Amino acid sequence: MKFIKKSYVAFILLIMYAPVAILMVYSFNDSKLPIWKGFTLRWYEEIFKDYSIQQAFSNTILVAVVSSIIATIIGTFAAIGIERMTGWKKSLVMNVTYIPLLSSEIVTGVSLMLLFGALGMTPGISTLILSHITFSIPYVILSIMPKLKQLNYNIYEAALDLGAKPSYAFRKVILPEILPGVLAGLFIAFTLSIDDFIISFFNTGPGVDTLSIKVFSMTRKGVAPTINAISTIMFGTIIIILITTNIMASKKQKKINKSNKSL
């Protein structure tokens, strides 16, 4: 039974990662066509020559960094505020929060495009960032809400009674408790922004490409292996970051355990 369970998980993981693997393999393929012709690094060299890909890459990162940070700040305060709301106000705000989550991306994308049009904004980086903040905030709020529910408000009140200013009490009592949720929200917002295509597609301007839009424009003629190369680099980077943070976290945990024992 355990074997069946493990094989099922392995099967699903295989399906999830098969395209990731094939893209990585083709990033080293010495041919523009998806047929293996031998190992090469020339697509990685091409990245340094291809200005449009560098541009698309830096746009993607810029939009992701700015939008995920702003979304996390707004979303964190929003979650704290919503948690303290009651009655119809709370359910109204929560329902509005679920709209971007449940409505299809295409409706979100189109409706934001119409809004920016009505406001007379030229589509470009700024509209991209605004739209990404909008679809990220709900994910941030939802990842923080469960942490807030577990929070014991009496400790916060105690801090206030002992003379702490609200901002100090927030930093020292509330923030450390909800930090895992905040960081998870930031990570999810950043990932969604990098991966987004549909909303970006409707809200970008001429000449402002993100990687997704670049991929889309190439799908008819065949995606250039340079895209595979840069995607492999991004994927590799995140894996390395995750592994190192995990190792650091477990080292820290060991230290804490040690100091606890010596106490």
Partner 1 sequence: MDKKRLALPYVIWASIFVVVPVLIIVYYSFFDKGIFTLQGYKQVLNPRYLGNIMDSIGIAFISTVICLVLAYPLAMILSSKEMSAKGIILLLVILPMWMNSLLRTYAWGYLLQDTGVVNSLLSSMGLPTMQFLYKKSAIVFGNVYNFFPFMVLPIYNVLCKIDKNVIEASYDLGADKFTTFKRIILPLSMPGVITGIVMVFMPALTTFLVSRLLGGGKTTLLGDLIEQQFNKTGDWAFGSALSVILMIIILITLVFMSKKDSFDKGGGLF
Which residues touch 217 (CB under 8 Å, ≥6 apart)? 209
Using the rule CB under 8 A, which residue among 63, 80, 129, 189 binds partner 1?
Answer: 80
User: Would you count residue 203 as binding partner 1 (CB under 8 A)?
Assistant: no
d(CA 83, CA 86) in angstroms, rounded, equals: 8
User: Would you count residue 229 as binding partner 1 (CB under 8 A)?
Assistant: no
Using the rule CB under 8 A, which residue among 62, 115, 155, 164 binds partner 1?
Answer: 115
Using the rule CB under 8 A, which residue among 68, 139, 173, 186 binds partner 1?
Answer: 139
Using the rule CB under 8 A, which residue among 49, 84, 221, 261 binds partner 1?
Answer: 84
Single-letter amino acid, residue 94: M
With contacts defined by CB under 8 A, how many residues of the chain interact with partner 1? 86
Within the chain, strands assigned E span none
User: Would you count residue 14 as binding partner 1 (CB under 8 A)?
Assistant: no
Contact (CB, 8 A) for 134 and 112 = yes
User: Would you count residue 162 as binding partner 1 (CB under 8 A)?
Assistant: no
User: Would you count residue 247 as binding partner 1 (CB under 8 A)?
Assistant: no
User: Would you count residue 158 as binding partner 1 (CB under 8 A)?
Assistant: no
Residue among 19 and 38 whose Cβ is closer to partner 1: 19
Q: Phi and psi (nearest 5°) for 165? A: -70, 150
User: Would you count residue 129 as binding partner 1 (CB under 8 A)?
Assistant: no
Least distance between partner 1 and beta carbon 126 (Å): 13
Contact (CB, 8 A) for 208 and 124 = yes
Site residues (CB under 8 A) for partner 1, limited to 33-72: 34
User: Would you count residue 239 as binding partner 1 (CB under 8 A)?
Assistant: yes
Single-letter amino acid, residue 100: P
Contact (CB, 8 A) for 112 and 199 = yes
User: Would you count residue 180 as binding partner 1 (CB under 8 A)?
Assistant: no
Using the rule CB under 8 A, which residue among 14, 41, 106, 175 binds partner 1?
Answer: 106
Please report how the helices 211-218 and 225-262 are oriented relative to each other, as an axis angle in degrees rounded to 10.
Answer: 150
Least distance between partner 1 and beta carbon 43 (Å): 14
User: Token match 């105690």: residue?
Assistant: 158
Least distance between partner 1 and beta carbon 172 (Å): 16
Q: How many helices (H) and strands (E) does the chain have?
A: 12, 0
CA angle 48, 49, 50 (to 5 degrees): 100
